[in-house]
A and B are shown apart, each in its own frame.
Chain A
Amino acid sequence: MLSKTKVAVSIHMSFTEMKRRSVTFLLMLALPLIFFVAMYYTSETATIPISINRLNTKLMVEDRLFTSLFMAALGIGATAAFGAMTSVINAQKRDQRLLLCGFTALELTLSRIILLTSIMCIATLIFTGVTIVLFSVQDLFEVIGGMFLVGFLGIAFGNFLGTVTSRELEASLGIIAVVGIEIAMGIRSAAVEKYLPWHFPLEIIKIGAFAESMFAGKEIILALLYGIGLFLVGFLIWRIRVAPKWVKS
């Protein structure tokens, strides 16, 4: 059974801990913006062709807008993934003790997801403010939704990696590998990219920013399903690895 008090106390304590890691906290909020600004001021205003999976034709878009959005989105995703991964790996023994004390696996997982998602929402909102000032996009809400889902998928992916490996370096390399492939393949919309965690949210951002009179409903559902699937698998593995093995009589 889920105890609201336990979830609330767990969120409060995790947030208190995070606040005391002020540099980490600020970086989590600022990194996507730093990525965005860096790309905005270094890329060109020329137009480039991009592909959207559901469209047969290529769209011609401004390089600067596309690259900046793409990199900012990956910034949000990578930050969220690292945040989730380290919070799972570093807290394994403490989570075990909390479980022995009486917290349930669901309460601990839920509080972690709620906290990280809230931070990602703030990062997305900060980023959205900048986007509004600098660009006009076709559908701002879809872009915001896409950015938020990039963060959501990042948390799910980081959480998953943190549960399958108990070593931070291995999990970090996993995130770096996916971000690297995403940068190399995503801009060109290569076939392999569509299996990666951030494919659907990136499609939503592309549709929201560039495609006229098109709604990314299918991509939103697929992104949510992908994220929920990763969370479920991660949760089950985490439960097996961390939770006490047997129930005492």
Chain B
Amino acid sequence: MSNNENVIRVTHIQKQFGRHVVLRDVSFEAARSEIIGIVGENGSGKTTLLKILVGLLNPNSGEIQIKAPIAYCPQDPVVFDLLTIRENLLYFGTGYGLEKREIHKKSKNLMEIFNCTKYTDYLVSQVSEGTRQKVNLMISLLPPSDLLLLDEPYQGFDYSTYIDFWNYSTELRKEGKTILVVSHMIVKDSYFDRIISLNGGYSHVIKD
């Protein structure tokens, strides 16, 4: 795949729940090695859009083309509270088809990056909300996916972990990964190659 070939192309997506139209006409595309931000107010349809992209919701109309294996990080942590961080990573990693040794190696690396090695054998129910969110994010960073769809990935992070997240994302971009980050607030737009805003159900490019 060449660097400027689109990894994902979304065309005229429309989604409504009953009479409530959330997305009216959303279109965008992302190429290899791009970090795209999707911003919008609460209720603007950012999470709905991501759920459509991963297949958790059906669009009412429109077309989606995805040409790479994806990994998804949901907005609210979806983890097993009564399993340890290590067990959670092993469970989800097995789902991705990774070998046990590979999972341990990758987990160790991610836990060092996100500074939570000391909690490896803590139950998720015993750690702080921020660490829970780190587990949520680390699960989606386990597989060697080329397209990462991250829904509010750094909410609840302290500033230093927020910076760690962006340093790691920049590394991933250099490796050729495409990252879609949904956020209600963007502090520093230089992290993004492009920013798309969702407003009134329509998408607008606000940084290109």
Contact = CB atoms under 8 A, between A and B. Distances in A.
A13 B70 contact: no
B94 A248 contact: no
Contact of A244 (B55, B66, B74, B97): B55
Interface string B175-201: 000000000000000000000000000
B80 interface: yes
B205 interface: no
A17 B74 contact: no
B82 A249 contact: no
Contacts of B90: 9, 13
B55 A5 contact: no
Given A248-B64, A249-B65, A17 B82 contact: yes
Contacts of B162: none
B58 interface: yes
Contacts, number: 67
A97 B55 contact: no
Nearest to A246: B55
A9 B91 contact: yes
A248 B66 contact: yes
B206 interface: no
Contacts of B72: 97, 100
Interface in B114-167: 123, 139, 143
Contacts of B57: 245
A5 B94 contact: yes
Nearest to A95: B78
Interface in B71-100: 72, 74, 78-80, 82-83, 87, 90-92, 94-97
B1 interface: no
Interface string B107-118: 000000000000
A98 B56 contact: no
B67 interface: yes
B21 interface: no
Interface string A1-25: 0000110011001001100110000
A228 B74 CA distance: 34
Nearest to A96: B56
A31 B95 CA distance: 34
A102 interface: yes
Interface in A233-249: 244-249
B31 to A, nearest CB: 17
A133 interface: no
Contacts of B70: 248
Interface of B: 54-58, 64-67, 70, 72, 74, 78-80, 82-83, 87, 90-92, 94-97, 123, 139, 143
11 contacts: A9-B94, A10-B94, A20-B82, A93-B78, A98-B95, A100-B56, A102-B95, A244-B55, A245-B57, A246-B55, A248-B66
Given A16-B82, A102-B96, A245-B56, 11 more contacts: A6-B94, A20-B123, A93-B78, A94-B78, A94-B79, A96-B56, A98-B91, A100-B55, A100-B72, A101-B96, A245-B58
